[in-house]
Amino acid sequence: MDAFKLLTRSTKLKTGPTLSSASSTTRLPSTGKAANPQLFRTSDAEKLLEEQAHGKKRKRGDGAHESKELDAALDFFSSNKESSKKIVKIEEAPSDAEGASGSEDEDQMDEVQCRTILNSHKIKVTDMRDLEEIQPVQAQGAEEPKKKKKKSKRKEEPAQTLTKKEQKKARRLFPRPLISFKELRSQYKISRRLAENIAEQGFTVPTEVQLGSLPLLLGDRTISPSKTDEPVEPDLLVVAPTGSGKTLSFLIPVINKIVRHHHEQQEEKGILAVIVAPTKELASQIVNEGRKLVSGTGVKITLMRKGMRVVEREDEDEDEDVLDEDDSKSSESEDDEKTPEKKDKSKTPVTKSDILVTTPLQLVNALSANRTKPIASLPLVRSIVLDEADVLLDPLFREQTLDIWRACTHPELRASLWSATMGSSIEDLAKSTIKERKDASNLIKSYPLYRLVVGLKDSAIPNIQHKLVYAATEQGKLLGLRQLLHPTGAPASDVRLRPPFLIFTQTIPRAVALHSELRYDIPPEAGGSLRIAVLHSDLSDGQRSEIMKNFRKGEIWVLVTTDLLARGIDFRGINGVVNYDIPNSAAVYVHRVGRTGRAGREGGVAVTYYTKEDIPYVKNIANIINVSEKLRGTEGEKSVQKWLLDSLPDLSKKDKKELKKHGVKARQSNLKGITDDQGQRKTRISTKSGFERRMENKKKGAIAASRNRKLQKPSGAESDSGEGDWNGIEE
């Protein structure tokens, strides 16, 4: 019998009104609905999507009447059983003749219908440019006779200043949504091979972020001043929930753009697109997804590695000439031994990849020769993608990311920023960087800057269950975590969580200590210590990749980690997330819990433990949980009550910055070296007694002293008398 079934036999998870009891017993709670991955959906929008997919014509009155009904009683996050059972029917790929008729159907979807679909899926597209740039056509308008202008001059002058509502209305855009992935070929004329690769991956119904962003990036005429104009690809800021398909949203346009470039200009070869990610794990995941899409298209996607050359520098040619002169002066024997090594190092071939996926530091080091030379330019790059942009433009990575952005000097460069959380400061920084590039050179063209938001900005996805648990002390957290590992011994009212799941800690030492404490909690017949692993940045690249591979294969059930895996990593079978240490910010909480409930799957659980020391920092997370539970509609299953929200203290801006940088102060003892026993006991993750600890410390001290004596003996013997002399015991 399978050991996994033995461990999880009595852990039937209750997942609310959307899942029946029969379905919860026959499949994992994280499997969800494979054919319908969308988070926000209504039955009215499904009817409209079905009619558009079948090419049915609609009357304008019907669309207007339907949009009024939606606006009157709109519940975007409701878990409606009737709507969850419906699946949009997708027809076969149209032929060339049908593709021509599809272009006619494109014009049939008017603004009212586009608005209905976008609003029902909680998609909001905004033009981020100044109003003067947005409405040049409207400002000019249809010219009236001079006499009429003179008469109405006094009336027009006070009406020039717009209110906030009017400005928001002027900035709102309603592009044509993507009904199905079949339209990528019929309406937007993407590469045939790329369309086949998308179909082979099983993608049929687009998620919200794909429904809204792909038409914008592939060129949409419906938002241009005149529908006869050529479609223009904009710069784009995207804020969408975790697990909503952002990777596919930016890979498809980038690959299609490079395929077209290869057909038009076959001579130009080099890096045409750069994708920047904050961690190596996320960069590797993007490359794996990209290789599935570029198969057979002639596009090459590469992961940036240490020692890789990305550009040819003029400085390197001069250095090679100097090396050759020095080598010619040396002897023939030295030439035979040294020059081949130097030539091999200096003449490493430049990568021939079209798409380069990298972390900020690796690419900056490659462009600047490990910070010894000025940063070289990337003149061929026409697309730069910042995945998890709020982290890349945070002070930790900001200078490196901006150096990469400025190194891309092509006048037609387009930038897209993607994340589940994005503050106004990040948006302002992106706008100022684009404006700075434009002001620096007259050759750089200006393009529209749009922002696309799916759902509520900076909020957790509503299809997972949140649990906020007060554990009082570190020992209480450890006891609660062991109850999750052994759910049969826990009371019926406690949360039930089945592996695989992730456990997040604040620091690397705490992750290592927690792993050593839990590694034998799974019985040997189920795999024992092999089922639990720890992953952090101090491990080598080989160790990290091996742990990730085993966790994806299912050989590792519980993974203890830091915020290294909090962003972007897609584990489709994760049943839950445990915040053993409280997150450093509300944004970190959103990203941590977003590792479960991916692509609309229901049944994921997020458990957060907090102690006395964490109480000042809980309110931000409690607010996010409260909003998520309201959106989910679980009135009777709230883990955060109103009295708790009212009693929790507010955190000042200064404390928020301190928390974001260093975490909870009580758990900084390992970093700052606090020596008092009381401070160490508060932050210690261990069940060992004081006697055992004293014996371990004595043993470690004896080993260290013996090692020091062995190192000091040779030097002392040489400095004193001759070999073999003994001067007796010194008093």
pLDDT digits (tens, 9 = 90+) for 436-455: 888 887 778 788 999 999 98
Say which residues have a Cβ less than 8 Å from residue 204's Cβ, sequence separation at least 6: 35, 90, 180, 181
- The pLDDT-based confidence of 16 (bands split at 50, 70, 90) is very low
What the block records as the tokens of 601 is 């799957």
Mean pLDDT (whole number) for 225-240: 77
**pLDDT higher than threshold 90 for residue 522:** no
* CA dist., res. 293 & res. 301, Å (int): 10
CATH superfamily of 260-315+348-418+429-445: P-loop containing nucleotide triphosphate hydrolases (3.40.50.300)
* CA dist., res. 393 & res. 702, Å (int): 48
**pLDDT higher than threshold 70 for residue 678:** no
**pLDDT higher than threshold 80 for residue 720:** no
Instruction: Identify the CA nearest to 450 among candidates 436, 431, 425.
Output: 431
pLDDT at 631 (0 to 100): 77
pLDDT digits (tens, 9 = 90+) for 49-73: 666 555 554 444 444 444 444 343 3
Exposure string over 67-77, b if 16+ CB within 10 A, otherwise e: beebeeeeebb
* CA dist., res. 317 & res. 323, Å (int): 10
pLDDT at 91 (0 to 100): 37
**pLDDT higher than threshold 60 for residue 480:** yes
**pLDDT higher than threshold 80 for residue 413:** yes
Residue span(s) of the chain under CATH 3.40.50.300 come to 260-315+348-418+429-445, 464-683
Taking all residues of the chain, what is their mean pLDDT, rounded to a whole number? 76
pLDDT at 632 (0 to 100): 75
pLDDT digits (tens, 9 = 90+) for 73-89: 333 333 443 443 333 33
* CA dist., res. 408 & res. 273, Å (int): 9
| The CATH fold of domain 464-683 | Rossmann fold (3.40.50)
pLDDT at 27 (0 to 100): 42
**pLDDT higher than threshold 90 for residue 515:** yes
Instruction: Identify the CA nearest to 510 among candidates 380, 637, 685.
Output: 685
Residues 403, 364 contacting (CB under 8 angstroms): yes
- What is the bridge-based pairing of β-strands 172-173 and 123-127? antiparallel
Does the pTM surpass 0.85? The reply is no
- The pLDDT-based confidence of 350 (bands split at 50, 70, 90) is confident
Return the number of other C-beta atoms located less than 10 Å from residue 159's C-beta: 8
Least confident of 61-70, 168-177, 459-468: 61-70
- The pLDDT-based confidence of 629 (bands split at 50, 70, 90) is confident
pLDDT at 144 (0 to 100): 43
* CA dist., res. 658 & res. 480, Å (int): 28
pLDDT at 636 (0 to 100): 53
Instruction: Identify the CA nearest to 221 among candidates 188, 256, 255, 251.
Output: 188
